[in-house]
Chains A and B, each alone.
Chain A
Amino acid sequence: MMFKAFFKPAALAALLAAATSAAAADLEISGAWLRAVPPVSPTMAGYFEIRNRGDRVVKLEGADVAFAGGAMLHDSRTGEDGQRRMVHLDSVRLDPGDRVRFAPGGKHLMLMKLSQVPRAGESVEVCLTFANHDDLCTDFPVRHNAP
């Protein structure tokens, strides 16, 4: 009975979510992934959700990734004229209790100057960097579509 309960869909979903989440005492990352792109692609985008469970403001600034020469926080925005533009974000402020989602068509982590391009099915470590917090590292699975 316990075996069956353990593998109920909800429990399985929680296990899968835990597999791609990371947490410091006060920060939690979940739903992390990178969009699969061609091997000659010069850039790729990362998505995740970050939650500040602590009691102080934290500023996300970027990321360190072994295979990328640079990483920036960007936001894809659509103006009233229907034009899509990419805005560079110097940082993303997380007040206590804040939850910020990086998702396709919105905020995203842009990885540049790729020395290699990981393939769909692989997982790579991405360390998010902050102005006032230790790095937070977690594995980002490479996928064709959002989880």
Chain B
Amino acid sequence: MKTRIRSGVVLLLAALTLAGCGDDPGSDLPVNTRLGGDFTLTDHNGEPFRLSSLEDRVVILFFGYTHCPDICPAVLARVAQAYRNLDEQGDAGPVQPVFITFDPERDTPAHLREYLPWFKADIIGLTGSVAEIEAVAEQYGVVFLKTDGQDEAYDFTHSDYIYLLDRQGRVRKLYPADFDIDEVVNDVQSLL
């Protein structure tokens, strides 16, 4: 297996190191000061997209790639379900799911534009150059390795946390890929 490691490795301990408190009266989620930050990538319309342009929105941020058959579609479906549950409660307006691909070669803006609307969750798809995506991955402590496969196929070994960002763009919580949908809904609502 040939691997390529370009993104910086931020240990899980660092990922889970928390400091400070939020200023949301309804939330007791601490602010993670080790991860996150603003970035600019290319959205599914081919336009530059800056995270901070989502000012005053709670963001559910996650990484993956559309050729991944098992984990990524399941995560997308769970995020979408959380969003729809919020929508049913009238709380989806200030919430924005954002998907960042590891695979800009195959996940072009055009492909993301066709792929993501199926989940019916107003998901913004982001891509960019490999270097740009690696830089964002490093900000968020995400590691991904491209692995060559058979028959011109390739996959990625990757971490698969989902990030909850508050209205100031600060990381407030990380979830595993099999997160509890109600937990995310409740956490999002605590930040609104």
Task: List residues of A whose CB falls within 8 A of some B CB.
Answer: 35, 37-45, 70, 72, 74, 76, 81-86, 88, 104-105, 108, 110-112, 144-145
Contact = CB atoms under 8 A, between A and B. Distances in A.
Contacts of B143: 81, 83
Contacts of B77: 35, 144-145
Contact of B158 (A38, A44, A83, A112): A83
Given A40-B111, A70-B151, A108 B70 contact: yes
Contacts of A108: 69-70
A35 B74 contact: yes
Contacts of B70: 45, 74, 76, 86, 104-105, 108, 110
A35 B78 CA distance: 13
Given A84-B160, A84-B177, A41 B71 contact: no
B157 interface: yes
Nearest to A70: B151
B180 to A, nearest CB: 14
A72 B71 CA distance: 16
B155 interface: yes
Interface of B: 12, 66-71, 73-74, 77, 106, 111, 114-116, 118-119, 143, 145, 147, 149-151, 153, 155, 157-160, 177-178
Given A41-B115, A82-B12, A82-B159, A110 B71 contact: no
A104 B115 contact: no
Nearest to A42: B67
Contacts, number: 80
Contact of B177 (A38, A40, A88, A105): A105
A126 B46 CA distance: 38
11 contacts: A41-B115, A42-B67, A43-B67, A74-B70, A76-B71, A83-B157, A85-B145, A85-B155, A105-B71, A108-B69, A111-B69
A110 B72 CA distance: 13
Nearest to A146: B74
A105 B111 CA distance: 25
B151 A40 contact: no
- Most A CB contacts (10 A, CB to CB) among B69, B118, B157, B177 go to B69
B41 to A, nearest CB: 21
Nearest to B147: A85
In the A-B complex, the 8 residue pairs with the smallest Cβ-Cβ separation, listed nearest first, are A38-B118, A85-B157, A45-B69, A43-B69, A40-B114, A110-B69, A45-B70, A86-B155
A84 B178 contact: no
Contacts of A70: 151
